[in-house]
Amino acid sequence: MPSLKYSLFAGEALPVSLSRKWRDAAPNAAIYNMYGPTEGTIHTSWYRVDPLNFFQGSVTPIGRPIGEQRISIRNMDGQECRTGETGEIWLSGPQMTRGYWNAPSLTAEKFVLDAGERWYRSGDLGRLDPRHGVIFGGRLDRQVKVLGYRIELQDVEAALATASQSEQVAVIALPKHRGGTAEVIVGFVAGNRVSIGDISATLRSVLPYYMLPRDVHPIADLPINANGKIDYRALENLYSEFATRSASAQ
């Protein structure tokens, strides 16, 4: 696509590997990674991908705020994190919505006042990098503890994408218990060109044992929800079907 001049990615975390492939396909396009939840109506920050110096990580940064928008990285106590520390991404600015329709309790939970300023608690994780701005770290609700270790499922997905040579990957942790603990991690791959055995072998060479998926399942396509994002609940149901079939076969 040599005539393409601008490419804007938004809605999901942008893998660095995918931005490299896109650069090859659209060599003359300026590539921007945009970030912002619906509550921010709708883009809060931006990051321009440098094709001569790609970010050395698995996920493209979400960068710095647009215009009058503000981003703050906060710990569990609501205090600002130091540079490089991971915390929850808080957003503020004139684009923030007033709240949720007919849901005052949810509005009170997500929109908070701090030093007279109204902030939205995004539920996303991030850390501030002096050079690249905010580095996205996944979702708070996708942090799990397996075998006593805290795991970011996004990190497992990044390793699975590399091992399978496919961007269409997802992982889930089951069964879910209170406190964010789980017993096993399960992976799904769509459109892979590598055997499941080779994928598993590669994962064993790059991930610690407590982050390894117990199973990796090839599927035709990843399920997508109404918001255009990966439907992890549907994958949980799919895995339950796999487990039921396996038990019946035995």
For every residue of 69-138, DSSP letters joined together read: -EEEEE-TTSPBPPTT--EEEEEESTTS----TT-HHHHHHHEEEETTEEEEEEEEEEEEETTTEEEEEE
Q: What are phi and psi of 114, to 5 degrees?
A: -140, 120
At 63, list the tokens: 């960068």
Nearest Cα residue to 92 out of 68, 109, 74? 68
Alpha carbon 46 to chain centroid, angstroms: 16
For the segment 93-111, what is each residue's pLDDT rounded down to a tens digit?
999 999 999 999 999 999 9
- 145, 177 in Cβ contact below 8 A? no
Separation of first and last alpha carbons in the chain: 51
* Spatial distance between the Cα atoms of 157 and 221, rounded to a whole number of angstroms: 16
Looking at residue 126, its pLDDT comes to 94
Q: What is the mean pLDDT of the chain?
A: 91
H/E stretch holding 62 reads none
- 219, 238 in Cβ contact below 8 A? yes
Looking at residue 36, its pLDDT comes to 93
Which residues, at least 6 apart from 171, have a Cβ–Cβ distance to it below 8 Å?
153, 156, 157, 160, 185, 186, 187, 188, 213
Q: Kindly report the pTM of this predicted structure.
A: 0.78
CATH fold label, 147-249 = GMP Synthetase; Chain A, domain 3 (3.30.300)
Domain 6-138 shares a fold with domain 147-249: no
pLDDT in tens, the chain (250 residues): 999 999 999 988 898 888 999 999 999 999 999 999 999 988 999 999 998 888 988 889 999 999 999 999 999 899 999 999 999 999 999 999 999 999 999 999 999 999 899 999 999 999 999 999 999 988 887 888 898 888 889 889 989 998 998 889 999 998 877 777 888 999 999 987 889 999 999 999 999 999 999 999 999 999 998 878 889 999 999 988 877 776 666 6
Looking at residue 191, its pLDDT comes to 82
Mapped onto helix, strand or coil, the DSSP state of residue 59 is strand
Looking at residue 133, its pLDDT comes to 96
The CATH homologous superfamily to which domain 6-138 belongs is Luciferase; Domain 3 (2.30.38.10)
The domain locations on the chain are: 6-138, 147-249
- 48, 41 in Cβ contact below 8 A? no
